[in-house]
Every structure is written in structure tokens, then in C-alpha cells.
Amino acid sequence: MDDCLFCKIVRGEMPAHRIWEDERTLAFLDIYPGTAGHALVVPKAHARDLFDLPADDRDAVFATARRVAAGLVAETGAEGINLHQANGKAAGQVIFHFHLHLLPRREGDGLRCPWIPSEGDAGALADLAGRLRDRLAAPD
């Protein structure tokens, strides 16, 4: 897409701190980092979100994410990594080009999880699980 920020970065029309690139993916540092070393991995071909992402690009993004995550842990001394990915405005997606956030983590780094866990209703969970099993077992 011509006006997509991440497409412009892929094409070299916008600056970015590039850290890895192959034929299908690009990884670069987030300019609004949640933690030191916060990186993004994007497919080079435009895909709006997870539902628009072809399987080959999905696989390439996750292969790149694994490689970059290992580098981030080694270089930042992180004790762990969070992967974060949002689909749609309601989920917090701001740039509508599929992207995967890699957030190096350390105990006490202050980054908060996007929700506060609380126990779900057992009956509602069982009901939803049954409906989902039926839907997912149905032919496409």
C-alpha cells in the first residue's frame, strides 16, 4: 500500500533502525519502545492483519521473530521476551500492516500486561469451548 507506514519502511522511504532482513520479512526497533530493545517484525508484503496474512509470510515472520528474539536476549541481557500482536482497532492495532512486537523483559521492568487476570465463569468457559470445538471441526 502506498500510504502504509510499514510499507514505506520496507521500501526504504522512511527511516528505521533495521536489525534483520530477508526476502520476506523486516525487523526493526520500535521508536516508541515499551522496553529496551523492543523490536517489530513485519512481512514485506502488505497484509492488514493476521486474517489477511498468507501462511508463507506468517511462517517467515515467526522464523524471523525467533531469530531476532534470541539476539535481543543475548544483547540486552533480558530474562524473557513477550510477543504481542493486535488485530483491529478494538484490540489496539494502530498501524494496519501486520506486525509482531518483541519485548525483551526483565523482572521489575515496569511493563504491565494488557489485562489483569481473573478467574472466568466455569459454565461460560465450558459452553464457549463446546461451541468453538463444533465450529472448528466443521468443514471450511
Q: Judging by DSSP bridges, how do beta strands 100-105 and 39-43 pair with one another?
A: antiparallel
Cα(111)–Cα(97) distance, integer angstroms: 24
Catalytic residue among 38, 97, 99, 101: 99
Cα(140)–Cα(128) distance, integer angstroms: 20
The helices-and-strands tally (H runs, E runs) of the chain is: 3, 5
- Beta-carbon-side half-sphere exposure of residue 17 (alpha carbons within 13 Å): 9
84 included as an active-site residue: no
Rg, Å, the chain Cα set:
17
Written as nine digits, the cell of 116 is: 489483569
The H or E element spanning position 130 is helix 122-137
> Any idea which residues carry the catalytic annotation?
99
